[in-house]
Structure 1
Amino acid sequence: MQYTKNWSISLLSVSLCLCGLLLINKAHAGAIDKLHAFFETTKSMRADFAQIVVAKNGKRPQQSTGVMMFSRPGKFRWQIEKPYSQLLVGDGKKIWIYDPDLRQVTVKKFDAALGSSPVALLVGESDGKGSDKGALERNFTLREAGEREGLEWLEAIPKSADSGFEKLLLGFFGNDLKSMELFDNFGQVTTLFFSNLDRNPPLSPALFRFTAPAGVDVLGE
């Protein structure tokens, strides 16, 4: 079931990458300005996603579809629906990765998993002094990446060597986040496409908590 585990790692990296780019300096232009406009007005979100994971050798791309949600600060939910079910949930303190086929859930500390990784871009973090911008500039280098496939792109490069990825590209159409491309340290590329995006929907707190069903093995913290 290594195939499944690779998908969950890719999805966790992207979802963990989404949490810290939420507030940003309006002085930047283009895609960075769109990023600011999007996240400045988005406290929660629900969207359908399609994910494609391509290994360094380019063979046998892995594809999946599902639903993602987040609620600031610190809460997210990624539900893979096809080709099989898998669930990632974060409540700001812990992250659960649940594989129904294996009847197994892995639990991680939220802060340890977050770091400079991709959920920091979406769910929100601060520098300890109440400044999201300070945390962002400490953890990432941002630059405009031009236009491609009808989208305006932003590149985020982690400053930490322990982030687990080389760079993240975010593609905007208008002020909507439509695509993300994550390049990890092993040459693997994970691409996400978002559709049916709903900003600021009412989301129940129960969506961001997880209780293991009876008989499920619990691994980790």
Structure 2
Amino acid sequence: MLTRLNKQSFSLRTLVIAASKYTAIISLSIVAITSQALASETVNAEPAKAKAELKTKLSHLISYSASFSQSISDATGKELQSSSGKLTLKTPNQLRWETELPDETLLIADGTTVWNVDPFVEQITVMHQHTITQNNPLMLLVSDDEQQWSSVEVKKLKSGFLVNSNDENANIVSLVIEFNGNVLSRLQSTDRQEQKSLLVFSDIKQNQDIDASQFIFEVTDSYIIDDQRTQQ
């Protein structure tokens, strides 16, 4: 699910959801979310009750695939970047992010390792998955790790849920998860630099069989491999 992570393309790009700026599993068709707008949409509900409701809703999300449109904007609302592609998720902790426009890129998280592929230059960056996903509220979509849940606060919104990170080191500081019924329909995130990202999903297939090969990348001899796992 992703453009180059080190360029904020996940997600997440973002996932999605960028290794250092995981606004990739996530950025999109520009919706500048201000704290005032979020506050006005908040429904009075106890945080513990809202968190329990979100956990229950996400516990039914076993697999997910959809096309996405993505846009990233700065703190003033100016659009910085837009893209489109396909996102595939499967619990636990598996993700595939393919960007088709403006450039073809691929990111695969297989549960332990992240493969960030740039077909244009035929280069693969390999990273430990936990170094990207730790302290990232986006991982709540594919993980039931209690440590992840304990590091966030949840508020109920009219259109979904607002997740705020309590971790001062988190790259994604807030995340809005929206549903159409029980189907995930939209993700909006704000990073520590106050950049806003939005993912809008279409052609959604939720809880249908996904082939395991979607989360495997076959390395060919023509690709240059930058393995950062030893450095991490």
**SS of 1:28 mapped into structure 2:** helix
Structure 1 counterpart of 2:147, from 124, 129, 135:
135
Instruction: Say which of 161, 184, 188 aligns to 1:177.
Output: 184
The answer to whether the Cα contact below 8 Å between 1:169 and 1:182 also exists between their aligned partners in 2 is yes
User: How far apart in 1 are the matches of 2:10 and 2:211?
Assistant: 26
Q: For residue 83 of structure 1, what is the aligned residue in structure 2?
A: 102
Query: Do the aligned residues in 2 keep the contact of 1:13 with 1:118 (CA within 8 Å)?
Result: no
- Flag the 1:187–1:14 CA change in 2: closer, same or farther, 3 A: same
Q: 1:65 and 1:32, CA in 2 relative to 1: closer, same or farther beyond 3 A? A: farther
Residue in 1 that maps onto 2:123: 104
Aligned to 1:67: 86
- Whether contact under 8 Å (1:32, 1:143) holds in the other structure is no
Which residue of structure 1 aligns with residue 222 of structure 2? 215
Change (3 A) 1:10 1:206: closer
Aligned partners of 1:79 and 1:137: how far apart in 2? Answer: 27
Residue 16 of structure 2 corresponds to 15
The superposition leaves residues 30-89 of structure 1 with CA deviations (integer Å, 9 ceiling, x where unpaired) of x973x4454232211111111111123544431111111111111110111112111110
- Inter-CA distance 201–10: structure 2 relative to 1 (3 Å threshold): closer
**TM-score using structure 1 length:** 0.79
Q: 1:10 to 1:199 in 2, by over 3 A?
A: closer
Deviation at 1:161, TM superposition (A): 1.1
Tell me how far apart the structure 2 counterparts of residues 45 and 67 of structure 1 sit (CA, whole Å).
11
CA deviation map 1:147-205 (0-9, x unaligned): 3xxxx131111121111122111122222221111100112111000112111221111
Q: 1: distance between equivalents of 2:14 and 2:107?
A: 11
Cα distance between partner residues in 2 of 1:181 and 1:77: 19
Is the contact between residue 38 and residue 177 of structure 1 (CA under 8 Å) also seen in structure 2?
Answer: no
- Tell me which residue corresponds to 2:44: none
Distance 2:15 2:74 in 1: 16
Where structure 2 has 5 or more consecutive residues not aligned to the other structure, the ranges are: 26-47
Judge conservation of contact 2:65–2:204 (CA < 8 Å) in 1. Answer: yes
Residues 153 and 165, structure 2, Cα contact 8 Å, conserved in 1: yes
**Number of positions where the alignment pairs a residue of Structure 1 with one of Structure 2:** 198
Aligned-pair RMSD on alpha carbons?
A: 2.5
Match of 2:130, SS? Answer: helix
TM-score by length of 2: 0.76
Q: Structure 1 or 2: larger strand share? A: 1
Matching residue's letter, 1:138: S
Question: In structure 2, what residue type is equivalent to 1:28?
Answer: K
Q: CA deviation at 1:13?
A: 3.9
Aligned pairs for 1:49-64 within 5 A: 49-64=68-83
Q: Percent identity?
A: 24
